[in-house]
Amino acid sequence: MYFSKKSIFISFGAIAALTSVTIVTAKYLIYTTNFFAESKNPLTGIYGQDALLLSELNIWLFLIANGYLLVKCLLVSFCLYTGFFIAGRVLSFRQIFGVVTLAESAFIISALLKVCWFHWRYPNGSLMEWHSVYMLSIIGFFNHVPAAWSYALQTMNGFELVYILTMAFGISRMTGNTYKNELTVVAASYMPVLLLWVVIVTFCTILYFPDHT
């Protein structure tokens, strides 16, 4: 497996396009003015203004989502690059970025599946029901979870596992080394950073939303 500059641009463009498709699908199936009104959370409460505000929010959502995608891929690539460097192996950052970009499709597919499943399961669903749906996540096994534990349990899901396995597979194809060896380095590089991120989010949740913890 080899990623040229052109193929990386194409890969990232495809993932960004899939992200945009997910946002558009959510816009038409879920995030409508009626959705927020029926959830008793109107965007403005002013007649005729909700649709205008929602349109503006969708534009910002496109920009933020794709910006977040780029930053995340770069950071995860840096973590893996550092992990392999510590393990005594120097890999191409560009090649790692290509693998990470393709692996990111697991989360985008997860988001798209959530939108489609929610639309089918809750045709008149509310915002509260939307926030209670997490595909293949451990949090789904609990009826009530304190806010302090919510993000950690959301993160423990099948798509996160697929993400790690896909990165290890891609790197093993790139280097020619065994899948088991590459999985060990990928997990040792990525998991501590993921744990740190979960701790930071949980800390911020407790700090800024103490009433919900």
Q: What is the pLDDT of residue 49?
A: 62
Q: 2 by DSSP, 3-state: which? A: coil
Q: What is the pLDDT of residue 68?
A: 94
Q: What is the pLDDT of residue 107?
A: 95
Q: What is the pLDDT of residue 194?
A: 96
Q: Tell me the pTM.
A: 0.88
Q: What is the DSSP string of 90-119?
A: ---HHHHHHHHHHHTHHHHHHHHHHHHHHH
User: Which backbone phi and psi does 122 adopt, to 5 degrees?
Assistant: -125, 80
Structure tokens at 176: 């020619």
Q: What is the pLDDT of residue 131?
A: 79
Q: Distance (Å, rounded) from C-alpha 75 to C-alpha 83? A: 12
**CB-neighbour burial class of residue 18 (10 A; exposed 0-12, middle 13-18, buried 19+):** middle
Q: What is the pLDDT along the chain (213 residues), one digit of tens a residue?
A: 778 888 899 999 999 999 999 988 988 888 776 776 666 666 555 555 666 666 777 788 889 999 999 999 999 999 999 999 999 998 999 999 999 999 999 999 999 999 999 989 888 877 778 878 888 999 888 878 777 788 899 999 999 999 999 999 999 999 999 999 999 999 999 999 999 999 999 898 888 766 655
